[in-house]
Structure 1
Amino acid sequence: MKLGASQPKKAKLAAYVGLYCGFMLGFAALFFAVMVGKRCGVLRGTARPKQGANINLGCFYLVGMPVAVWLAFFAGFDFKGLWLGMLAAQGSCVVTMMLVLIRTDWDFEAERAKELTGAEVVVVDDIKQVEQEKPRKAESKEDSFSLLGEFV
């Protein structure tokens, strides 16, 4: 509109403002994605990646997509509605992950981690703790060969 009205300086300003706003919106989306990714990392670290995947699936497809479609096509926000739907998905994902992390029994998770890694914690004194690997059951060669014999 500004170019057609012979206002090139205002057109240039409008272009810069649009690019700046797009950059900031994209940066905000990236920030939320990284924050959600870190929360998913916590769920991966506690051997619950399926729970993190289900949260992402639910938040993005059951919250974000309907909000984006409604805002973009029915509420008249057009392309901005798609971005706001993505923001709604990220926000719902953050809230859901925070609820899961708040309800996590960290003592149970610590015990579970010891079992999964085969490590045990030995208390040296009140301040320091040292992890040692538990001795694992060694397979006898007979068992290994008998299993191999079944496949050969």
Structure 2
Amino acid sequence: MRYFLHLAYDGTQYHGWQIQPRTLTVQQELDRCLSQVLRQPVYCLGSGRTDSGVHASHQVAHFDAELPSGLDLPTFLYRLNRALPRDIRAQLVHEVPDKAHARFDAVARTYEYHVRTVPDPFAPTFSLYLDRAPTSPL
């Protein structure tokens, strides 16, 4: 069975989405926790990739697996979030047709860049602070 998993993450400590040798990535952590909760090897594929330190408020990934007998989707989602690091959160999971593809079936992608000109001690991880307005060339 194929599933779409909707998730969000704070990418501060990750070297992007995609698995890379000898470094921590979001996909690596997600695969590890999916495999742990489902008690079978699971590989997910994301709708897009993020660079090192980049966050996602809504990423979709698909994976193929058989849910253990008696495990419903709400309980699976609960257990997955308990296994995941606190900076990665699964928000929704649902069955999709076997040919559905998180990357190729996406209908839109949106990227947001947050720039502040006022200091905010609660926002440094999620936005860029400019202490001076950029000057224009002469």
Greater strand share, structure number: 2
Rg larger in 1 or in 2? 1
TM-score, scaled to structure 1:
0.28
Greater helix share, structure number: 1
Instruction: Kindly indicate whether structure 1 or structure 2 has the higher relative contact order, using CA contacts under 8 Å at least 6 residues apart.
Output: 2
TM-score, scaled to structure 2:
0.30
